[in-house]
Structure 1
Amino acid sequence: MKRIFMIGYSTDKGGVEAYIKNISSQLEDKYEIILHWPTMNIDGKEWVVPANRHNYIKYQQFWRKFFHENKFDVIYYNTCDIVSIDLLKFAKDADVPVRIIHSHNTGNQVIAGGLLGWLHKWQERNSRKNLHKYATDLLACSKTAGDWMFDGRPYTIIKNGIDISRYVYSSTKHQNVLGTLKNEAGKVVACLGRLDRQKNPFMSLSIFTVLCQRDRDTQCLFIGDGECRVELEAKVRALGLQHRIIFTGGVDNVNEWLSYINCLLMPSFFEGLPFALVEAQAAGIRCLVSDTVSQEANITGLVEYKSLNASVEEWADRLLELASMPRVDVSESLISAGYSIANTAATIERIINQGLKVCK
């Protein structure tokens, strides 16, 4: 059985993790998939990954030994930035034949100035310059994600496929979530994803605050976890809105939560093609997103774009209108557009097989 080293999975419950989980479930009958993890047990040997690249000599020694002692046919590097392509380089040095990099974003997640910002930009430029030496296949979740990361080099768009049937609305799923919250609401508006600065959660909180003022029966949810959660929760407590604005943390049953909410909010600073928007459309709900999100995300007509320069009052008023609209079953539209996980897996398998054939 051919072996894939899959990079990008973490304890977060974000879009990249959802993609890896979905694609792995489709490929695991044909390939042995090893997930990159802080501690890995492969063929009876334990590998403890260095925590970071600060001690680069130790870091390099570990990965060179790792790839030389473990035979992989494919390295599949899922990433939201291009600051480091070291693992592709080490994999090439160990003669791993298929070396895939998959862009899931349209900007660097480290939003910083000064020396740190300069260093990240320098590393990005260097990685782009050398990427063709180490990667055999360039993939992207959208055109904007590919254009940003690969800087004019040819790439293949891989659609964020899901098991569409799992997301179709059902009253049972709705009741399951209601049983968790124990608080029936009128309209439910949610942010779904990591609580980090890229997602602009403090603007979401400002919009939620206006929603609570505009409609006493509206419930607002932050579904996800991240670095901004503690600060956001403190602000909600200060506003006295902890019973109206609820933090669920990361959840494993996103499909059930999408049967509970009426509208999705996403005022991100930048995105690739958000997994959450594919899931929300599969559930038939409207989505109000920033105009910095790729237009490719509007697969079914359920996604509406708004400028980040618009007032939070404008955002809130439009959310209330969208949340009042009935769900729409767009399953067939998503399948026709190629967003089933079976279609995505078939594309990945074809790329892998072509790469292995070339290297014979």
Structure 2
Amino acid sequence: MVTVSDCTSSSSRIHLQETYSSRLVAYNYTITLSSPNQWIFDFNYYIQCPNDSFVSIRGPNRVCISVRAFQPPDYCRNLAYGALLCEEDDGVGLTGPYSFAEADVIGGYMNSKIIEEPASTTYTYTNFWTDGFQESSDTIYVTDDTLNGTTGYQWETAPGEQSVQSFNCTFIYFQGSTPTIFINELCYEDESCLVVAETDNGCLLYGYFTSLLIYDKSTGRYRIGLKVRAFEKPNFCQNQTAAVELCEQDGAIGLTGPYSYSEANVIGGYMKSRIKEEPADKGYSYINFWTDGKRATSSTFNVTDETLNGTTGYRWETAPKNSVQSYNCTFIYFLGSTPTIYIKECDVTWLYDWYCLRGAVCRTQPISDL
């Protein structure tokens, strides 16, 4: 409260308001006459940002935004590392541009960061991860509640118009004078690429090329690891019993399968990598991996993994009720771009040079409890 000795008549109520904003500080205050010699001084908000960031007004919110770079020797990293980077040193998390004007400011900071902390190689395009995950074919979901969705995102290609629907996460590139949002590829062949999955109930899953932590949002109980394992030579192709044993080695828990169609895509990517890293002795036309699932009735299959929601995540090649009734066990095959569940005899291993049951999809203990 501020007291003044010389002021106007109490009948004229004086009100003063000021809003101030600089790179690091923003505030808004009012001064109101409450009685003839008394004034009320109120700060409606005051925010001061760290030196490596700038303050931005987002509607009713005031936020600090910084552009951060990965440290050497790992100059280029995937989205999971980007999220961790944004949580260091009291960071809140990934964000993106609230408006086209804010994107211009972010673009300027990107240019400065590229000059101040150059990568080991002169890349043609240097990009920075932003908040944004593919929720459906034409929508992107953001986690930052101070953003107005993606209304501030100037798309290089709009989500609904992109030709590759396996592109799932967003990054920003300062193309000429326009900071532009791109949607990146879901990639399995390189550790620097992102691995992202989304369960059918909307839970977004993040992981690295070498491991993936899964969280079952529907119950909140399960945090598990998935791994695609291959049988050791010389027995490259083995039956379902051997698959169960394989998934119980080295602290693993047992056979599992895809929780959702999206998770099946992630498993499919790991299958491709496993086939490349541990090839069989022959050039089989079809390389398959056993999954959790045994016939219970003519039209249903039971699974042993309680973290699965039954077989709701199984994309059947042939529905159980229409399959050969003596076929009782399930395996997954990555046919083109769609990992698909097949049903076969439990003791099958291989057939000529046609197909090989190469390993299994296993549930493992979490590598961490993050």
| Global fold match (TM > 0.5) | no
Judging by fraction of residues, say which structure has more strand: 2
The TM-score, its normalising length taken from structure 2, stands at 0.30
Q: Normalization by structure 1: what TM-score?
A: 0.31
Structure having the higher Rg: 2
- Between Structure 1 and Structure 2, which shows a larger proportion of helix residues? 1
